[in-house]
Structure 1
Amino acid sequence: MQNYIDDTGVQVADIVIGFREILHQGMNEAQAVREKFDYFCWDLYARVTEMYERQPEKQQLRTAVLKRLEEREGEDAMLAAYVARRIVDCHLDTMARIGVRYDLLPWESDILAHRFWERAFDRLKKSRAIEQVTSGDRKGCWVMALEGPRFADLKEGEKIIVRSNGTVTYVGKDIAYQLWKFGLLDADFGYGRFREGPDGHVVWTTTDDPLEQQRDHPSFGGAARVYNVIDVRQAYLQAIVVEGLKVLGYADQAARSIHFAYEMVALTPGSAERLGVTLSEEDRKRATIEMSGRRGLGVKADDLLDALERQALEEVTVRNPDLDPREIRDLARAISVGALRYLMVKYTRNRVLAFDFDEALSFDGETGPYLQYAAVRAGGIFQKMAAAGGPDEKTAAVWALEGSFDLPRTDAAEEHWALLTLIARFRETVRQSVDSLELSQVAKYAFNLAQRFNAFYHKYPVMQEPDARWKKARVILTYLFLAQMRRAFDLMGIPEPARM
C-alpha cells in the first residue's frame, strides 16, 4: 500500500506563503513550533485563503513558489520539504491510531528528481498525445487532446499537462507515476527507511538522497493491477491518466488502472457542533455539513477519535465499573476504532458519508460496536464452557473440521442449517465485494451474520443444551461464526475487544 505525498503542490506552496507573508517566519520558526504541527498548518492554510480574498494580487506568489518547489531551489524549497515531512509524520501517527499503515511513501518531488516526468513527457510528445498551444490564454501550455463524450464536460484548464511557465500539473506527474507503478518507465526510485512502527513494520520512502538510500529494500512498482484510491471529484483527472496510458500504447495497463472512487465524508449538524464547529441557523437545518480545508471548516481526525474514545469510555465504565482503568481505556479505544471503521465501510462508495456520534457508537443496530458485541459474546461462550470443563475453541475447531453436522429433520434443524449456510457465504461475499469494489457488501454481510447469530443464540443456548448431538452442532456453529467474524473484522480493520 502506497501513500502518495503531494509535496510540490498548491497546498504546500500556500503553507510556505503563509509562513512568509502572514507570520513573517521561516525554517527556524517552523522547527520551533511545539503544538501539533498538522493543526498549526491547518489554521495557517485557512488564513492564507483569507489573505487571498482580501488581497487577490497575493495569489501571484503561488506561481513563483510552485516553480521553486519543483526546482528544489532556495529557502522556500527547504521550508516546504520540512513542512511536508513533518505533516506526514503527524498523518502516520493518526493513521496508526486506527490500525492503518503504509508500505511506501512516494514523494511527488522524487518523480521530478528522478526525471520520471521527463521520460513520460518525451514519450507523450513523440506520440503526439500532447501539443503546445501557440495562441490565446493558454499560449505556451502543453495540453492533451481529449475528445469524445467521456470528456465533454472537461474544462479547458483541466486538459493542461504543463503550464506556460514550465511547471507540471499534478495530472502530468500522475501519468508518470502510473507508468512507474506498472514498471513501464525503465527507471526506479531510490528508497530509504522513513520510520519503523512498534510492531517492526517499516514504512519506506522514495528518496534521491544518496545518504538516505538503502540497497536492501522491498520491491516496489511493476504491478499487474493498480487501484488509485481517490475521491469521486477526481474522476475526470483519473480518466486523463488512463487516456495517457492508452495513447502511449499501453491499452492493457490502462484497462487495469482502477479508480477506486468514493464520496466525501460530512458531519451531521449535531456532530459538527459537538466538535466545536460554529454553525448558522441555516447550517443547522442541513442534512450534512461539508468540510472545507480552505475555509477552515472541518474536523481533525485526532479530535474525532478523541471524542469517540471519550464517549466509548463513558459507556464501558458504566458497563464495567470494576475494571482496571487501563483496561477500560484499551476497551474504549478498540470500540471507538471499531465504530469509526465500520461507519467508513458500511455505506456504498457513491453515497456521502454523514458521520453521527450517536449512530456510530450505538451498541444496537448496524454499527461496529454491535458486531464487536456479537463476537465477544461468542468468545465468552467458549471461555465459560472451558471453565466448566467443556470444549474450548481449539476443540471446537477440530469438531468443525472433522465432525459431522447430523441433525434430525425438524424446524430447529432448519434454523441451524440456515445459520451454517450464511456462515458459508463469506468467501462468496468477499469475491463479490472485490469484483464490485464495494467493501460495504462485507460490512452488510457481517451485520446480517451477527444479527442472525444473536437471534439464534437467544433461542438456542449452547451450554444449557442437554442433548450431546444438538450441543455439538451449536458449539461448531459458534466457532464458525466467530472465525468468520474475525476474518470480516480483519478485512474491515475492526479490532476485537476482550469484552464489551
Structure 2
Amino acid sequence: MPDYNFFRKKFATMIKQGIGALEVPLANLEISDLIEIPPDSHFGDFAFPCFFLAKKLKKSPVEIAKELTSKLDKNKYFEKFEAVGGYLNVFIDRKFLANDFFSSQSIIPEIKSKKERVIIEYLNANPNKPLHLGQARNICLGDSLVRIFRFLGYQTNAANYSDDSGVNVGYNLVAHLSGDYPLETMEKFDHYCGRVYLAMREKESDPDFQKKLEEVLKKIEEDDPEVIKIQRQIVKQCLLAQLQSAWNINSYFDLVNWETDILHSGLFELVFQKLKKIKRINKLTEGRLAGCWVFNLRGLKDFSGLENQDYVLIKSNGLSTYTAKDIAYAFWKLSKPKIEIKYSQLIRQPNNQIIWMTDSHFGKDKKDFGNYDWAINVIDKRQELPQKIVSLALQEMGVLAKKKYQHLAYGVVYLTPKTLSKLGIKLTLEEKNQPFLPFSSRRGWTVNLDDLYNKLFEKIKSETKEKNPDRDEKWVDLVARKLAVATIRFSLAKVDKDRDIIFDLDEALDIHGATGIYLEYTYARLKSILKKSKGSKLLVQKKFDHQPDELEFEIIKKIISFQETIDNVLNNLSPHYLANYLLDLARLINLYYEKIPILKSPAKVKSFRLKLIQSSVEILKLGLNLLGIEEVEKM
C-alpha cells in the first residue's frame, strides 16, 4: 500500500522534471523537502511553492506556477494540477488511491529490522520519594519512544538511571542512620521516603546536619560497607515502589543503572582520567573555585551567555557533581570501556519481563548492555546546560565521531487550582483564582502519580459500573484500569514536548475532548459496528467499484499518512505527532459515522465503508498501543 510519502516523492520527481524543462539549475536542492500540504484540501493534496524560482527565472511566482503546470501531465497517480497564486497544487487520483488502499493485504507498514542499537533513558527519579505528575510526563515520553523505536525495527533498550549517590538520597540516609526513622513501615515505601525527606529538609540550615550529610555522601562515594548496606536497602526498596507506579501506567524497563555502580565499578575513574587529558579541563588553584576540577567554557559559542565560564565537575571536597557522573555514564552508553560491568536480576515485571540492574558488589552476570549507537536521554528542559556539557565532553573524547547522543528536553507540568482542590489540597482564595500553579512540595502543591491514578480509577470504575450493571467486578476493574491509563498517558503525550502542560482533571476525562477517553470511545464505537456486521464476507472483498466521496477520501489520506506521522515522531523525538494524528483520524471517522448509515448502506458501497471502518480500527489500535494505551472494546 502506498503511503503519503509515496505520492510526495512521485510529485517531487515530476516537479524536478518540470523545472529541468524550464532550464533552471537545481544544484543539491531537495524538491520533496519544499513540498507542502495545503491547510485546506480544496487547494489540493500537495502544494509546491514557486517563490524561490522567481529570482532565477526573473518571472513572478504566479507565472512560474502556470508554466510548471503546463509541463506536467495527468497520470494514474494524480488527477489534476492547478496553479493558484505562487503555488502549484496537485490532487491525488481518488479511485487509484481507494483501489490500491483496499487491495493491499495490510494497512500496517512493513518494517525491516535495523542494526542500530538504541538506549532510551527515562524516569531517572531520585529513589527517595514517590513519582509526581511531572515525572509521569517523562515516563510517557520515554516509554512511547521505546515502543515506537521497536516498532521501527531498532534494537532498543529502556533504561532507568537511579541517582542513589546524590544529595537527595543523602537526606534520607542521614535520617535512618541517626535512628530517628526506622526502615520498616506499613506505608508504600516511596511515600514513606518522601515524608522522611521533607522532614530532613527542615533541618538543612542546621550546620550539624550539613556536616553529617557531607560525611554520608563521602562514604557513599568511598564505598563504605556499613553505609552502603543501609543505603542500598533504602534505594532498592524505594525504587521497587516507584516501579510499581510506572507499571500501573504500562511502562516497563530492561535495565536499572545505579549511579553508585558508576563510581564503584571503576568506570568513573577511568573516564575521569580521559577527561583530564582534555585541555579545557583542569584543576583550579586559586579563586572561589580553588581545588575544583572545572570545564573551561570560554570561547565556546553555545556557552557564551553563561556568567560563570568555569563549570565544576569535581568539588573542592572531592565529591563528584551530577554532571561528572553523567559524563561517565554517557561514555559507557556509547563505547566499550576496558572495565567489566556486572549485572544481577532486579525483579520480574508484570509483563513477565526481567529488569536487570548494575551490581558492582554482588553481580555475577554478563549482559550485552552498553556500547550503543544512539543514546536518547529524556530529561526536562531545566537540565539543558548539564546535558550540553555531557555532549561536549563526549565530543572532546572522540566518542561522537560515529555515535549519537541526544537530550530530549521537555516542558514542565503545571496544575489547575481546580485539580488541586479535587485532589484534596487546600488553597487560599488568591491561589484558587490563579490560571495554574507550579509544583511545590513545601506548600503541598504536588500530585503524585499513585494518587492521581487511584483517583481516576475509582471515578471511572464508578461510572463504568453504572453504565454496565450486568458486568462482573473483574471486567469493570479491567476497563477502569485501561481508561485511567489512557487518561493519564494521552494527556501527557498529546502536547509538543517543548511546551509546558497545564493539567486539568476534568478536561482529561472529557469523552468529547482531545483525550484518551475520546479515542477509546471511538475505538469501541467502531468495533461495535464491525461486530454488528457479523463478520460479513463483505469485509474480505478487495476490489471496490466505488468512487470515494470527500470525507471518505480524507479518511483514506489520513490512514496512509500514518508512516509519515511515525517518521515525524522519529525525527523530532516527540510522540505528540502520533497523539494528534489519532485525534484527527478519530474526528474524521466519528463525523463519517454520524453522517453515513454504514450498516444500512446499499450493498455496492457497504463493503467499502466497512473496510474503511476496519482499517481505521487497525490504525487506532496500533497508534494507541504505541502510546502505551490498551484499547477498550466496550465502555
TM-score normalized by the length of structure 1 = 0.91
What SS does structure 2 have at the residue aligned with 1:290?
Answer: coil
Long gaps (5+) in structure 2 = 1-157
Which residue of the other structure, out of 4, 9, 19, is the alignment partner of 2:176? 19
- In the other structure, the counterpart of 2:582 is 446
Partner of 2:365: 214
CA distance in 1 between partners of 2:307 and 2:454 (Å): 41
- d(CA) in 2 for partners of 1:97 and 1:280? 33
Q: CA deviation at 1:344?
A: 0.6
Displacement after TM superposition at 1:293 (Å): 4.3
In structure 1, how many angstroms separate the alpha carbons of the residues matched to 2:309 and 2:333? 26
What's the offset of the Cα at 1:188? 4.0
User: What residue is the counterpart of 1:10 in the other structure?
Assistant: 167
The equivalent residue for 1:252 is: 401
Change (3 A) 1:48 1:297: farther
Q: Which residue of the partner structure matches residue 335 of structure 2?
A: 183
AA of the residue aligned to 1:301: L
SS at 1:52's partner residue?
coil
What SS does structure 2 have at the residue aligned with 1:4? strand
- Structure 2 CA distance, aligned partners of 1:459 and 1:75? 71
Partners of 1:462 and 1:292 lie apart in 2 by: 52
1:174 aligns with 2:326: yes
Q: Secondary structure at the match of 1:364?
A: coil
Q: Compute the displacement of 1:198 (Å).
A: 3.5
Could you tell me which residue of structure 1 aligns to residue 384 of structure 2?
235
Q: Is 1:303 aligned with 2:451?
A: yes
Let me know the Cα RMSD of the aligned residues. 1.9
Matched, 1:430 2:566: yes
* Structure 1 segment 55-94 matched on structure 2, within 5 A: 55=206, 58-94=209-245
Is it true that 1:352 corresponds to 2:491 in the alignment?
A: no
Q: 1:460 maps to what in 2?
A: 596
Structure-2 residue corresponding to 1:479: 614
Task: Kindly state the Cα deviation for residue 181 of structure 1 after the two structures are TM-superposed.
Answer: 0.4
Cα pair 2:296 2:310 within 8 Å, conserved: no
| CA-to-aligned-CA distance 1:432-482 (integer Å, 9 cap, x gap) | 1211222111111100100100110111232211x2231111111011101
Query: Shift of the alpha carbon at 1:263?
Result: 1.1
Alpha-carbon distance in structure 2 between the residues aligned to 1:158 and 1:298: 35
* Matched residue SS, 2:580: helix
Q: Is 1:271–1:357's contact at 8 Å kept on the other side of the alignment?
A: yes
Contact 2:457 2:484 in 1 (8 A): yes
- Letter of the 2:591 counterpart: A
User: How far apart, CA to CA, are the structure 2 residues paired with 1:69 and 1:469?
Assistant: 74
**CA distance in structure 2 between the aligned counterparts of 1:413 and 1:52, rounded to whole angstroms:** 69
What do residues 357-413 of structure 1 show as CA deviations (whole Å, max 9, x unaligned)? 111111111000000111111111122222xx624xxx73x44xxx124314xxx62
Give distance in 1, aligned partners of 2:445 and 2:227. Answer: 27
How far apart are residue 158 of structure 1 and its match? 7.6
Q: Distance in 2 between matches of 1:118 and 1:262?
A: 31
Supply the distance in 2 between the matched residues of 1:15 and 1:278 (Cα, whole angstroms).
27
Higher helix share: 1
Give the counterpart letter for 2:558 in structure 1: L
Residue pairs, 1:146-157, within 5 angstroms: 146-147=297-298, 148-154=300-306, 156=308
Question: Quick one: distance in 2 between partners of 1:492 and 1:209?
Answer: 37
CA contact (8 A) 1:8 1:66 kept: yes
Segments of 4+ moved more than 3 angstroms: 152-158, 292-297
Q: For residues 220 and 467 of structure 2, what CA distance do their matches in structure 1 show? A: 54
Q: Does 1:204 align with 2:352?
A: no
* 1:264 corresponds to: 412
Structure 1 residues 161, 303: closer, same or farther in 2, change over 3 A? same
Match for 2:272: what amino acid?
Answer: F
In structure 2, the partner of 1:121 is 272
Amino acid corresponding to residue 274 of structure 2 in structure 1: R
Give how far 1:495 is off.
Answer: 1.2
Give the Å deviation of 1:231.
Answer: 0.5
2: CA distance, partners of 1:319 / 1:156: 61
Q: Deviations over 1:125-180 (max 9, x none)?
A: 12233100101221111001113342234464981111112221111111111111
> In the TM superposition, what is the alpha-carbon distance from 1:273 to its structure 2 partner?
1.7
Percent identical among aligned pairs is 31
- SS of aligned partner of 1:291: coil
Q: Which runs of 5+ in 1 are unaligned?
A: none
Match of 1:38 in 2: 190
Which amino acid in the other structure matches residue 396 of structure 2? V
Distance 1:52 1:157, change over 3 A: farther
For these two proteins, the number of residue pairs brought into alignment is 477
Deviates more, 1:321-330 or 1:236-245: 321-330
Q: Distance in 2 between matches of 1:253 and 1:206?
A: 26
Q: CA deviation at 1:214?
A: 2.1
After TM superposition, the score normalised by the length of structure 2 is 0.72
Which of 404, 407, 414 is matched with 2:543 structurally?
404
- 3-state SS, counterpart of residue 192 of structure 1: strand
Does 270-279 or 478-487 show the bigger shift? Answer: 270-279
Stretch of structure 1 that moved more, 239-248 or 415-424: 415-424
> What is the Cα deviation at residue 79 of structure 1?
1.9
Letter paired with 2:371: G
Does 1 or 2 have the higher relative contact order (CA < 8 Å, sep 6+)? Answer: 2
Query: CA separation in 2, counterparts of 1:438 and 1:469?
Result: 42
**What letter matches 1:406 in structure 2?**
D
Deviates more, 1:231-240 or 1:345-354: 345-354
Identify the range of structure 1 (106-115 vs 129-138) with the bigger mean alpha-carbon deviation: 129-138
| Greater Cα shift, 317-326 or 433-442 | 317-326
**CA offsets 1:228-275 (integer angstroms, 9 cap, x no match):** 000100000000000101111234357x21111111122111111222
- Name the SS of the counterpart of 1:298 in structure 2: coil
